[in-house]
Each structure stands twice: as C-alpha cells, then as structure tokens.
C-alpha cells in the first residue's frame, strides 16, 4: 500500500515520515492554544496589564483560529500541501520568535505574536485531517484520524500542565537551564518547530490535488466577520454576561446575520468558498452535531475543573494540571485504538459506549465537595476522557466517510468550523451558568465584617453550587449526544456515490 502512494508529481511518498512530521508540527502549534492559561497571572505582572486585558491573549487566539478554519477549505484546494504546511510552520515560528523577544512595554506585540500562532493553528488543524485521510486509504480512515485525535485531544490538555511545570521553577535539562518564566513557554517549542520545518522541506510532499480556484473576496470577508463576531460575542459572555447588548448580543446578532447572508451566497455560487451543501447529507449533519457536543463536553469541563481545584482546593496550577494529566494521556492512548476499532465496526457502537462512559463520568461531579479526594477526580476525569476518545475521532471518520473524495476538504472545513464555534459557545454557556449561580449565592459583603467565618463558608458553598450547576449542564449536553447517537448508521459508512467516480 505505502509503496503505491505517489505525490502529485508522481514521486513516491514516505508515508510514516510525512505523518510523523505532520503530527509533531501540529502538536507544538496546537499546544499554544491553551498553554498561556496558567501563565496569565505572570504576564499580568510582566506587562502591567489587568486581568481583562491579559485575557485578550486567549480571546485573540480563539478568534483568529476560528476565522482561519473556514478559509482552510479554500487554502487546501488552492495551495499545494507542502507549501501550505511549510508556511503554517513558518508563520508559527515567526509568531513564537516575536513572543520570545517582545519587550514588556509592548503588549500589542505579544497580541500580534498570538494572532500569528493562531493563524498557523487554524491552518494545520483541518490540514492535518485532510492530509491524514489522503495518506491512508479508505479502509484505514479510522486509524489515520485516530492519530489526528491524539494531537487535537492531547495538545490542548497538555498545554496548561506543561506551562505550569515551566513556571513552577527553573529546570535543568540536558545541561540546559530552562528559566521558570513565561518566555520559556515559547522558547521550549521553538526548536521543535524549526527542526520539523527543516525536515519537512525534504519529506513533506504535495499529496492533495489543487485547482486554480479564484479567491472569492466577498465570501472571505463575510466568513471572517461572521465567525469572528460570533466567537467574539461568546468570548465576552464570561466578563459581561449574556444580557450585555454591546459586548454580547450585538456582535452575536450581527455575526448570525452575516453568516446567514454568507450561507445564502454560498448556495448560489458555482464553486462555493465553503460548501455548505454537505449538510444535505443527514449522516454528516448528525455526526457534526455529535462531534460538536463531544467538544463542548470535553473543553467545558477541561475549563471548569481547574478553576475548582485552584479556587476551592487551593492547588497550584501545576498540581491542578497534574490531576487532569492522566485523563489527557488516557485520551491520547485510546484515540488510535478507537480509530482501529472504527475501521472494524463503524462508529455507532463505539460512540454509544463512549457517550455512556462520558455521562457516567460527568454526573458524579455534581456531588463535588470541598474535600473530595483528588484521586477520585482524576479517575472520573479519566473515565470521561476515555469516553471522549472513543467518540470524537470515530465520529469525525464517520462524517468524512459519507462524503465523496473531492468533498473531504470542504467537509473538514465545515466540520471543524462548527466544532470550534460550538466549543466557544458551549464554554460560554458553562462558564456563565457557573458565574451566575455563584453570584446568586454570594453573601453580602457586610457579613464579611460581621462574621468572616460564616462569610467564608457561604462563599465556599456559592462556589460549589456554581460548579455543580455547570457540571449538571455538561452532563445534559452529553445526555443529548447519547440519545442522538442512536440515530447513527449501523456499521461503517461510505459515500453513497462511489460508482460514478469509478466509471
């Protein structure tokens, strides 16, 4: 099989080397998505900005990343694979170098660096998926995406732990001293990215057919503003609440209008910028909804649990990261296995089993107390992540499976876009539910003077009820997904129109 695989110029491809380069490069790029979370406090002091200001480093990444994903459909059909990947790596390296050298009086420069990193992440996330599918045949589609799942599931989960470890103290590794400050977070990934870039010059080949499509500027502007505004609105929910007209309602409404116009426009184009007709396929639609729910369930709890462990339990960012680390590793280990099993059985059985595990692993968090043994948190989290590993990539494989070969780039872009938007909205829902329940239960500040102990107790209870509410909501999302999973096809699905392609 591997000896038959040729690139677009008819030269043989080293499949393993190419896949490895793709996965490692993407891993360091996607790692940046979450790795600044634990570093925000130290960045606040270094750059002398407030917490709302420093939050922008995360928001800008999320927005730019989300804007890039729909554009990826165009990029993947227009730009040869090799140059697309090399430019993504180069953009990432430039962004990271800027971050390393940013003087502490130029916060905007760090924002630019983050935006560049996000552009790279927005390119590689879909690229990784499309290339993996092209490298491996239809019969090992699950295996290919299983490896992709290892990266997109593990990198965001490892990010906070890794930076927590870096920030904890100075480390000496192979005679090199890694200083315990935020610059090291960027410095550590830099050599890896450079090495991957250099080797990719030789081993990365153009594997996807390209067509000379013209960039439709109207679509580009519409998708950028539409998705950008929706992502912006959902990022602002945690600070301003759902009811804030200027920060949340207005941008979301505008975003929705632009997207509606975008969709209408796409349906009338001969060669759409983002082919939304893939939604006409019922299986694709169901699997995309399920992937989105899985993503909400994963990212939402990934965000809420560290807050609980740091605020209620007083754990350091490193230790709270370590509590969740086994779960992330579990997901990494199971993801390729899930891919292998998808190739054997199809998605349905895996997904139903997976969602029941996620559900069983989420409900107990509703009973979290201030003394819950951390080992139980780790265990339940592992159970959840095992379930997520069994659902996410088999679902994506299944979504890709129902599409024709020439629709894969489009399907990937659509699938990933919806997933990103759903994740931001889901996180916004969970964090705002948590915050509003906490606010409702927060005791009056006069009690703090009258009886500080009673005040502390009520604050603790308020925090716990907030966490309980958001975990209950997460469990609700999973339950919906579990029920929807029964509408999946039995067995492995393949495109309905293979005949005309063979003919």
Partner 1 sequence: MILLILFLFVALAFISLMFLDKQTYVIGGVIGFIGIILSVGLITANMANHFGMETKVTTHKSMMYSATNSKGYGVLLYQPVGTSGKENVYIYRKHEQDQKPTIVKPDLTMTTNRQEIAGNQAYRVIKDTRYVYKNDFWKLMFSIAGNDGELKKRQVTYQLPQNWIALTTQQAKNLQAKMTPKTDEEKAAVAQQQEALAELAQNDPDQAGIKQVQQIKATLNI
For 78, half-sphere exposure in the C-beta direction (CA atoms, 13 angstrom radius) is 13
* Candidate list 165, 203, 279, 353; residue touching partner 1; CB under 8 A: 353
Q: Note whether 40 binds partner 1 by CB under 8 A.
A: no
The residue (of 155 and 392) whose beta carbon lies closer to partner 1 is 392
Q: How many residues bind partner 1 (CB under 8 A)?
A: 35
Selected from 274, 290, 341, 418, the binder of partner 1 by CB under 8 A is 341
State yes or no: residue 491 binds partner 1 (CB under 8 A).
no
The verdict on 361 binding partner 1 (CB under 8 A) reads yes
Query: Counting contacts by CB under 8 A, is residue 379 touching partner 1?
Result: yes
- Radius of gyration of the chain measured on its C-alpha atoms: 23
> How far is it, in rounded angstroms, from Cα 467 to Cα 305?
8
Residue from 480, 403, 446, 13 nearest 204 by CA: 13
Contact between 10 and partner 1 per CB under 8 A: no
Nearer to partner 1, 288 or 391 (CB): 391
How far apart are alpha carbons 237 and 246 in whole angstroms?
11
Nearer to partner 1, 105 or 369 (CB): 369
With beta carbons less than 8 A apart as the criterion, state whether 237 and 432 touch: yes
Residue 325 binds partner 1, judged by CB under 8 A: no
- Shortest distance, position 140 Cβ to partner 1, whole Å: 17
- Of 218 and 490, which CB lies nearer to partner 1 in the complex structure? 490
Kindly report the number of other CB atoms within 10 A of residue 243's CB atom.
9
Among residues 359 and 477, whose Cβ is nearest to partner 1?
359
Pick from 6, 282, 367, 490 the residue near partner 1 by CB under 8 A: 367
Interface residue with partner 1 among 16, 195, 260, 375 (CB under 8 A) is 375
Find the DSSP H helices in 245-373.
250-268, 282-311, 317-345, 347-362
Q: How far is the CB of 147 from partner 1 (least distance, A)?
A: 19
| 177: β partners | 172
Query: Helix, strand, or coil here: 105?
Result: coil
Is residue 348 within the footprint of partner 1 (CB under 8 A)?
Answer: no
In terms of CB distance, is 145 or 207 closer to partner 1? Answer: 145
Q: Say which residues have a Cβ less than 8 Å from residue 54's Cβ, sequence separation at least 6.
A: 40, 43, 44, 47
291 contributes a contact to partner 1 by CB under 8 A? no
E strands, 127-223, are: 171-173, 176-178
Least distance in Å: CB of 326 to partner 1?
Answer: 11
Site residues (CB under 8 A) for partner 1, limited to 110-149: none
| Closest by CA position to 154, among listed 36, 64, 37, 27 | 27
CB of 146 to partner 1, least distance (A): 14
> Interface with partner 1 includes 83 (CB under 8 A)?
no
**Sign of the dihedral through C-alpha 327, 30, 351, 130:** negative
- CB closer to partner 1, 151 vs 350: 350
Q: How far is the CB of 379 from partner 1 (least distance, A)?
A: 6
User: What is the per-residue DSSP string for 268-291?
Assistant: H-SS-SS-GGGGGSHHHHHHHHHH
Q: How far is the CB of 330 from partner 1 (least distance, A)?
A: 11
Of 32, 173, 46, 152, the C-alpha closest to 92 is 32
CA distance 238 to 143: 38
* Interface with partner 1 in residues 402-461 (CB under 8 A): 448-457, 460
| 81: Cα within 13 Å, side-chain hemisphere | 25
Q: Are 254 and 229 in contact (CB under 8 A)?
A: yes
Among 181, 285, 356, 435, binds partner 1 (CB under 8 A): 356
369 within 8 A of 471, measured Cβ to Cβ? no
Gap between the Cα atoms of 426 and 424, Å rounded: 5
Note the residue count of the chain. Answer: 503
Q: Which is nearer to partner 1, 32 or 368 (CB)?
A: 368
244 or 374: CB nearest partner 1: 374
Compare residues 37 and 354 and give the one whose CB is closer to partner 1.
354
Give yes or no for residue 93 binding partner 1 (CB under 8 A): no
- CA dihedral of residues 405, 407, 408, 414 (deg, nearest 10): -170
Query: Cβ 353 to partner 1, closest distance in Å?
Result: 5
Helix (H, G, I), strand (E, B) or coil at 177: strand
Q: How far is the CB of 350 from partner 1 (least distance, A)?
A: 8
Which stretch in 86-94, 125-133, 266-274, 361-369 sits in contact with partner 1 by CB under 8 A?
Answer: 361-369
Q: Which of 108, 376, 486, 487 binds partner 1 (CB under 8 A)?
A: 376
Which residues of the shown chain bind partner 1 in the complex (CB under 8 A)? 341, 344-345, 349-350, 353, 356-357, 360-361, 363-364, 367-369, 371-373, 375-376, 379-380, 383, 386, 448-457, 460
């Amino acid at each position: 099989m591997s000896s038959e695989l040729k690139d677009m110029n008819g030269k043989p491809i080293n499949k393993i080397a190419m896949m490895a380069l793709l996965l490692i490069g993407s891993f360091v790029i996607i790692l940046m998505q979450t790795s600044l979370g634990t570093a925000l406090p130290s960045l606040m002091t270094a750059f002398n900005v407030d917490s709302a200001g420093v939050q922008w480093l995360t928001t800008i990444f999320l927005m730019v990343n989300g804007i890039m994903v729909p554009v990826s459909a165009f990029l993947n059909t227009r730009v040869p694979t090799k140059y697309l990947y090399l430019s993504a790596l180069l953009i990432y390296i430039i962004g990271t170098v800027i971050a390393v050298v940013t003087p502490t009086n130029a916060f905007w420069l760090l924002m630019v660096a983050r935006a560049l990193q996000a552009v790279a992440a927005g390119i590689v996330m879909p690229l990784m998926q499309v290339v993996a599918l092209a490298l491996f045949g239809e019969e090992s589609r699950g295996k290919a995406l299983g490896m992709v799942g290892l990266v997109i599931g593990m990198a965001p989960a490892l990010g906070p732990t890794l930076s927590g470890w870096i920030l904890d103290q100075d480390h000496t590794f192979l005679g090199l001293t890694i200083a315990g400050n935020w610059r090291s977070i960027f410095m550590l990934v830099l050599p890896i990215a450079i090495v991957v870039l250099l080797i990719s010059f030789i081993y990365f080949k153009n594997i996807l057919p390209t067509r000379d499509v013209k960039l439709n500027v109207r679509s580009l502007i519409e998708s950028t503003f539409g998705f950008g505004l929706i992502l912006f609105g959902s990022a602002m929910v945690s600070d301003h609440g759902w009811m804030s007209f200027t920060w949340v309602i207005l941008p979301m409404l505008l975003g929705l209008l632009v997207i509606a116009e975008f969709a209408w426009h796409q349906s009338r184009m001969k060669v759409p910028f983002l082919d939304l007709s893939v939604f006409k396929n019922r299986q694709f639609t169901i699997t995309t909804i399920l992937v989105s729910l899985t993503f909400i369930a994963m990212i939402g709890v990934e965000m809420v649990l560290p807050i609980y462990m740091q605020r209620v339990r007083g754990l350091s960012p490193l230790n709270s990261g370590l509590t969740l680390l086994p779960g992330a590793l579990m997901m990494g280990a199971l993801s390729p296995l899930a891919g292998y099993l998808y190739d054997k059985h199809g998605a349905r059985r895996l997904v139903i089993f997976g969602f029941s595990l996620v559900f069983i692993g989420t409900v107990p968090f509703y009973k979290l107390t201030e003394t819950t043994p951390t080992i139980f948190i780790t265990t339940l989290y592992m159970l959840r992540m095992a379930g997520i590993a069994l659902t996410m990539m088999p679902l994506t494989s299944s979504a890709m499976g129902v599409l024709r070969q020439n629709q894969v780039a489009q399907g990937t872009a659509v699938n990933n876009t919806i997933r990103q938007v759903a994740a931001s909205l889901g996180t916004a829902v969970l964090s705002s539910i948590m915050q509003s329940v906490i606010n409702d239960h927060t005791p009056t500040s006069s009690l703090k003077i009258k009886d500080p102990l009673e005040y502390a107790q009520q604050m603790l209870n308020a925090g716990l009820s907030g966490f309980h509410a958001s975990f209950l909501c997460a469990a609700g999302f999973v339950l919906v997904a579990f029920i929807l999973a029964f509408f999946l096809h039995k067995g492995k699905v393949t495109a309905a129109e293979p005949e005309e392609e063979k003919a």
